[in-house]
Amino acid sequence: MNGLVVLKIGGSIITDKSSSTPKSLADAIERIAQEIAGVSGSLILVHGAGSFGHPLARQFKLTEQFDVQGIIETHRSVKSLNTMVVDALTLSGVPAVPVHPLSCALLEQGRIRDMQMAPLREMVQRGLVPVLHGDVVMDSARGAAILSGDQLVPYIAQKMGAERIGIGSNIDGVLDNQSKTIPDITPSTVDRLRVYISGSSHTDVTGGMLGKVQELVELADKFGISSRIFNASTPGNITRFLKGETMGTRIQKDK
Ligand code: IPE
């Protein structure tokens, strides 16, 4: 889909991730909504769960066992965060609609096996902005499992033929061993950079930066979809990303 952008906003930006109970950051949610409203174009937004998802997933041991009450409470909680994000976007004039992964995706051993893409395609074609989120999702092998927004983004981008991906977290991009941002990564440079990237993985809570980078490098290489990992807690950076400006780390195909 020509010009489509898939943007993930990490749970650490829109919630207080250090809190053991759900705590949203209303000012950040409003700022993000306004930045998105300020730039036109086709967009699919994915947001993380932060303190609305991780503590409940841990409490009910959802990565280890099937728990009906855990599914209900965790989904209910992440859905309430999604409602806040969609409401803020709506108030800012963005035609946002909620899309809950629990209702349209199926996992197998924690990986997306199937997901309904036709409604997303129609939404985007008609100018709507689907807003998805990290969720608890049915799993054909385990009963249910946690689906991170980090897995949703490359999957959706590939299925929809997106042009660009943005990963907005609270770090300035992919950092080297001196905590400096690596500006560009391509399939031919990733091997050389691997040792530095794994060194900075402690800053990432959902499975490590290296895994994320590798997945994005593969997407660039195979499908020509470029991505940018940037600091979305810095005001103005989402606007910059949407406008295609340079900041953070860009991952793209070799020229
Ligand atoms: C996690 O989603 C989903 C649940 C814990 C239910 P993410 O992995 O996308 O969330 P963040 O960005 O780490 O908060």
Q: Is the CB of 77 under 6 A from ligand 1?
A: no
Question: Is residue 200 scored above 50 in pLDDT?
Answer: no
Instruction: Summarize pLDDT for 120-170 with one digit per residue, the tens.
Output: 999 999 999 999 999 999 999 999 999 999 999 999 999 999 999 999 999
The pLDDT assigned to 106 comes to 98
134 ligand 1 Cβ < 6 A: yes
> Distance of alpha carbon 214 from its chain centroid, rounded?
15
Mean pLDDT value across residues 27-49: 98
Average pLDDT of the chain, as a whole number: 93
Say if residue 50's pLDDT is above 50. Answer: yes
- For 234, residues 6+ apart whose C-beta sits below 8 A from its C-beta are none
Q: Is 106 near ligand 1, meaning CB less than 6 Å away?
A: no
CB 33 within 8 A of CB 89: yes
In degrees and rounded to multiples of 5, residue 183 shows phi and psi of -70, -35
| Ligand 1 midpoint to CA 115 (Å) | 18
User: Rounded to the nearest 5°, which phi and psi values hold at 135?
Assistant: -155, 170
CA of 134 to the centre of ligand 1 (A): 5
Please report the atom of ligand 1 found closest to the CA of residue 135: 6
Higher pLDDT, 83 or 199: 83
Cα 58 to ligand 1 centroid, rounded to whole Å = 12
| Cβ of residue 74 lying under 6 Å from some atom of ligand 1 | yes
Instruction: Give the distance (Å) from ligand 1 centre to CA of residue 11.
Output: 6
The answer to whether 212 and 150 have CB atoms below 8 angstroms apart is yes
Domain 5-251 has CATH 3.40.1160.10: yes
Burial of 22-56, coded b for 16+ CB within 10 Å and e otherwise, reads bebbeebbebbbbbbbeeeebbbbbbbbbbbbbbb
pLDDT over 50 at 205, yes or no:
no
For the chain, the structural domain boundaries read 5-251
